Chains A and B, each alone.
Chain A
Amino acid sequence: MNHATPSQPPEMTYAIESKGLTKRFGNSIAVNQLDLAIPKGCIYGFLGPNGCGKSTTIRLLTGLLVPSEGEVSILGAPLAGHEESLKNRIGYMTQKFSLYDNLTVRENLNFVGAIYGFSGRRKKARIEELLSLYDLEQQAKQFAGSMSGGQKQRLALACATLHSPELLFLDEPTSAVDPENRREFWERLFDLSSTGTTILVSTHYMDEAERCHALAIMEQGHKRADGSPQMLMDTMPAAVVEIRGDQLRQLKQRLTEQKQILSAAQIGSNLRILVKKDVTDPLAFIQQFSADREIALTRPSLEDVFVTSTGGRHVG
């Protein structure tokens, strides 16, 4: 059911819109005044440490939790009051494996298919399609509980997308998966995206966040930054300086005491330093502390953006 009228085309371009979305649990605020505008068809990432409110936000957007304040529109319809009709149009892959361990892969798919109103030949055809798409044909008769992390995750994605949802929520989908399977998994996500599915994915991996079309960096329930990875890196309010040399630990100690330095982190034999943008010549500034080492400006990474935007937090 689509409740948006054709006279409001701009609204239709957003799959998810929220204004002032807030969730309190007792005295603690899990999500604080979150404004989101996620366009249709993109892969949007929530990047943040554990406990920053990523899962709570996803649960608010899927209607599993009721917001304390704020409004949410999903696929052009206000979420409040339309939770049930929206359930046929959204898919949700939970952080913890939420299918039945003592059912086989095919039985799990059959169950989910029937719940979404598939039956007979249509259900069988869709399940075969998913089994081959997610490379689960060999495991069709295996109990879900006995599968590897990667297989479980593919089954969960197959179940979440069985009814071809327009909007897919993935809550830390790759936390129990090896890099090889993660790569494969993201290929599938881009397949889904190319067919027009909007995907919201939460993660605490930088490399995953970098694959997203756009992302929000979250910390303690606040959105600290929002935009495409490239834009976030370009507009980062800090310069990145790399130092190469010896005795980096002591140098790091001295640098982090300076208020112009946002962060200093050792990466191999390099020290990566984030210098505030208001320092006009970052190289010269660093030079005062470290005379006889190789110093160079370098391109910011998403991790630098993350460190910069989650202010007050020094990594290293």
Chain B
Amino acid sequence: MWVRILAVFIKELKQLSRDRMTFGMIVMIPLVQLMLFGYAINTDARHIPVGLVDLSQTAESRALEQAVTATQSVNFVARYRSIKDAETALTRGDIKAFLYLPPDMTRRLFGHPRYDAKQTDSPLTRPVGQWIVDGSDTVIASTIRALRDMPLNEIADHNTVRPTASFAVVQYYNPEQRTVVNIVPGLVAVILTMTMILFTSAAIVREHEQGNMEFLITTPVSPMELMIGKIAPYILVGLVQVAIILSMGHWVFSVPIQGGLLSLLSGAILFIFASLTLGLVISTIVKTQLQAMQLTIFILLPSILLSGFMFPYDAMPVPAQWIAEALPVTHFMRMIRAIVLRDANIVLLGKDALWLGLFAIGGLIVASLRFKKKLE
């Protein structure tokens, strides 16, 4: 049995090393994705282009404009004479929002308790201006919404005492709140899902398409030997990718690697194994390599969207969480973030580890049972 597994393993490894395109992809996919996600994806919106309709035209209105710019949330890119002009620009998409300062803005400001602590909130207190926002993009809308309670005392020269916060917040594990810290470990899970399923989903069907299978199934090789021999080389490939992503993440994006190497390695191997067997099951279902690709994407999309990589798992509706639980990547997403960022060990994550293990063994059995040494 082991002789035959080894024979298939060596054969796959040799074929893989001679397929330059695939070999390049193993290295390039993680590198390119890491750079894209690391530099481009930022969930805290900044420097949103906005317009200004200033009907007040006073020193205070200019001071207010500067104070808003100083928050770095928005950039004033244009001025408009009327609300109508600004609305046209909003529709065109030149700006994402605009600030309207009414002619009596100065009077409103002086009567505002945030500007002058001696003033008290009364029914006569009015907001000093109005934001009109393109609300279709919720990230931008919420960024502008955060400006609603912006302090106004900085415009005045006199300093007022800031009210004490209701809660103190201490941010563990990612004190600077950099998105990339959460993205890099998550990216390990997403890229492994992508490459591992893709490689093996084509594994069986490729032998069929290239005509090798007809000979192979007249030999004494058993389905289980064939399956294990075929996925074994990709465990190495997967570990190489994990190493690339984490080391590049560490050196280029200063993502701290807190966890132990042993926990990381065992978690990664479990997940790679689970993804590979998922790919094998796909491979026993499809008839062509193109179908294998399509089915892989069908699995890949929910893996990216529901696993907690982009959107918090706990914020999803319960049925979506069920789907997410069924995907191996969700469990690994939890594990790798816990290990890399929070120094958790594999024992602490036993439930997720156990699930991945069961998934892998189940997948291997299903794939072996589905694989018939027949041509029909």
Residue in B7, B18, B212, B214 whose beta carbon sits within 8 Å of that of A64 in the complex: B214
Residue in A96, A97, A107, A119 whose beta carbon sits within 8 Å of that of B3 in the complex: A119
Residue of B nearest to A25 (CB): B376
CA distance A102 to B16 in the complex (A): 10
Contact (Cβ within 8 A) A87 B220: yes
Contact (Cβ within 8 A) A115 B218: no
Contact (Cβ within 8 A) B215 A111: no
Contact (Cβ within 8 A) B11 A111: yes
Contact (Cβ within 8 A) A64 B211: no
Contact (Cβ within 8 A) A111 B15: no
Contact (Cβ within 8 A) B374 A103: no
What chain A residues lie within 8 Å of B215 (beta carbons)? 92, 94, 98-99, 159-160
CA distance A117 to B3 in the complex (A): 7
CA distance A97 to B210 in the complex (A): 9
CA distance A63 to B4 in the complex (A): 21
Residue in A90, A94, A115 whose beta carbon sits within 8 Å of that of B214 in the complex: A94
Contact (Cβ within 8 A) B374 A98: no
Contact (Cβ within 8 A) A103 B14: yes
A213 CB to closest chain B CB, in angstroms?
24
A114-B4, A117-B3 known; A102+B18 contact, CB < 8 A: yes
Indicate with 1 or 0, residue by residue over B347-376, a CB within 8 angstroms of chain A CB atoms.
000000000000000000000000001111
Residue of A nearest to B225 (CB): A115
Q: A69 at interface (Cβ–Cβ under 8 A)?
A: no
Residue of B nearest to A156 (CB): B215
Residue of A nearest to B11 (CB): A111
B13 CB to closest chain A CB, in angstroms?
11
Give the residue among A62, A92, A98 with the most B Cβ atoms within 10 A.
Answer: A98
What chain B residues lie within 8 Å of A96 (beta carbons)? 211, 214
B20 CB to closest chain A CB, in angstroms?
11
Contact (Cβ within 8 A) A111 B220: no
Contact (Cβ within 8 A) B14 A115: no
Contact (Cβ within 8 A) A100 B211: no
Within 8 A of A (CB), among B85-110: none
What chain A residues lie within 8 Å of B217 (beta carbons)? 64
CA distance A112 to B15 in the complex (A): 15
What chain A residues lie within 8 Å of B212 (beta carbons)? 98-100
Interface residues on B, range: 20 to 34
Contact (Cβ within 8 A) B220 A117: yes
Residue of A nearest to B373 (CB): A83
Residue in B3, B214, B216, B220 whose beta carbon sits within 8 Å of that of A84 in the complex: B220
Give the residue among A84, A112, A160 with the most B Cβ atoms within 10 A.
Answer: A112
Contact (Cβ within 8 A) A115 B15: no
What chain B residues lie within 8 Å of A107 (beta carbons)? 11, 14
CA distance A99 to B7 in the complex (A): 14
Q: A116 at interface (Cβ–Cβ under 8 A)?
A: yes
Contact (Cβ within 8 A) B11 A59: no
Q: A66 at interface (Cβ–Cβ under 8 A)?
A: yes
Q: A260 at interface (Cβ–Cβ under 8 A)?
A: no
CA distance A160 to B219 in the complex (A): 9
What chain B residues lie within 8 Å of A87 (beta carbons)? 218-220
CA distance A116 to B6 in the complex (A): 12
Within 8 A of B (CB), among A103-158: 103, 107, 110-112, 114-117, 119
Q: A88 at interface (Cβ–Cβ under 8 A)?
A: yes
Residue in A88, A90, A98 whose beta carbon sits within 8 Å of that of B211 in the complex: A98
What chain B residues lie within 8 Å of A115 (beta carbons)? 4, 7-8, 216, 219-221
Residue in A92, A110, A111, A119 whose beta carbon sits within 8 Å of that of B218 in the complex: A92
Contact (Cβ within 8 A) A65 B375: yes
Give the residue among A94, A112, A114 with the most B Cβ atoms within 10 A.
Answer: A114
CA distance A101 to B376 in the complex (A): 24
Q: B19 at interface (Cβ–Cβ under 8 A)?
A: yes
Contact (Cβ within 8 A) A64 B220: no
A96-B211, A100-B11, A115-B220 known; A66+B374 contact, CB < 8 A: yes
Contact (Cβ within 8 A) A65 B376: yes
Residue of B nearest to A107 (CB): B14
A53 CB to closest chain B CB, in angstroms?
15
CA distance A103 to B19 in the complex (A): 11
CA distance A94 to B214 in the complex (A): 7
A54 CB to closest chain B CB, in angstroms?
15
Q: B10 at interface (Cβ–Cβ under 8 A)?
A: yes
Within 8 A of A (CB), among B29-87: none
What chain A residues lie within 8 Å of B218 (beta carbons)? 62-64, 87, 90-92
Contact (Cβ within 8 A) B374 A65: yes
Within 8 A of A (CB), among B198-219: 210-219
A sample of 4 more A-B contacts (CB under 8 A), given A63-B373, A117-B220, is A87-B219, A90-B218, A98-B215, A100-B15
Q: 17 A–B contact pairs at CB < 8 A?
A: A63-B218, A63-B373, A63-B374, A64-B217, A64-B218, A87-B218, A91-B218, A92-B214, A94-B211, A98-B212, A98-B215, A99-B212, A101-B210, A103-B15, A107-B14, A114-B7, A115-B7
- Taking Cβ atoms with an 8 Å cutoff, the residues of A that contact B are 59, 62-66, 83-84, 87-88, 90-92, 94, 96-103, 107, 110-112, 114-117, 119, 159-160
